Structure 1
């Protein structure tokens, strides 16, 4: 056998003896890296989708432009995204069921607006527990509220409304919207039942309401520190007031 051929064969054997173990090591290392959790010291991101193994959304964290619109069982509805920076929660069916949103900015003339909103939704409906803060250049309101909603599927409700909105303007459209906004089997679409908060006039208030959302008991401590307790009838008339009787 030619000497040069023997040298080439020897080199191939050496190369194979070295490269094969290296290939095995690299392959095992890559496999090990795929099964490890990624760890970041710092990360800049515009949106994070937290999903279940089947791909259903569980939580979306995003900035304003990339924020998500309402989702029902994985299907967008209602309105487009782009206006809710923060965190949106989803239930086991991939339907939105609450969220945390926030914002605030100052205009060139020096005035400002700000808002923070944490809410949780009734199943297949809209928000029923809300912690809310709004501020219009010092005109501030902050409170916690609890509501009741009719047992009407929100996806069907919005589709019904959107269908009505396509009608030409006129008495028929107005009547259809009034009917759509009306109670379902005697239950309002939405009725606030409890509100606890600080009003724009700096009064601390607790309002307890009937199933129609009408104030029936009001407890107030106004901006001067004066307390008041009122009982109202279904028409909003004060039946009793403490102090001062009545």
Structure 2
């Protein structure tokens, strides 16, 4: 009886070690291979020291704002892909979403690809938004000199009014040059002062006459 018990203990120990070794080989950090399909709710890409470099996530698990590996809560209404620099700070991302609310309105519908200044605000953004509150698409280039404020310098896009616009702003974000084409094809070029007053309009000769 005693030998049987000793055998069972030894046998159990061998099985435990074998199972642990199999799990480590299957899921350890050295595991590589080709996979036809992978289903996850969130995927973290990290450096060998654990520094986060990229997250691909659904809406429920998408992180808040991460600066130097420290996360601050932020309610994001989309899923997407977030990028991080060498120090584990967010530097931009690709986010997307859209659904109907209880009233049947389309909300949070669109895609945004953005790139951030070092530990600061977005300075380049590509937008495509179309829901019950906003309808616009375009490219935005901004300044953030001190890291606290954001002053848009360039906007190239289309607004809800259907007007295609190229707007150039000064360092304070004031529009100074506007090139616009309305849906019916009417085009104009405008020069503005710092207060937004039109100094000069340049229209096609057929319209100006």
- TM-score calculated relative to the size of structure 2: 0.79
Q: Is the 8 A contact 1:197 1:206 kept in 2?
A: yes
Count how many residue pairs are aligned between Structure 1 and Structure 2: 182
Q: Is the 8 A contact 1:65 1:82 kept in 2?
A: no
Runs of 4+ that moved beyond 3 A: 33-36, 80-84, 107-111
Q: How does 1:47-196 map to 2 (within 5 A)?
A: 47-77=42-72, 79-80=73-74, 83-107=77-101, 110-113=104-107, 114-137=109-132, 140-152=135-147, 189-196=149-156
Q: Is the 8 A contact 1:89 1:96 kept in 2?
A: yes
Q: Is the 8 A contact 2:154 2:167 kept in 1?
A: yes
Residues in 2 aligned to 1:216 and 1:125: alpha-carbon distance in whole angstroms: 26
SS at match of 2:60: coil
Q: RMSD of the alignment, in Å?
A: 2.5
Residue matched to 2:3: none
Report the CA distance between 1:137 and its aligned residue: 4.0
**Unaligned segments of structure 1, at least 5 residues:** 1-22, 153-187
Larger Rg: 1
Report the CA distance between 1:138 and its aligned residue: 8.8
Q: How does 1:9-24 map to 2 (within 5 A)?
A: none
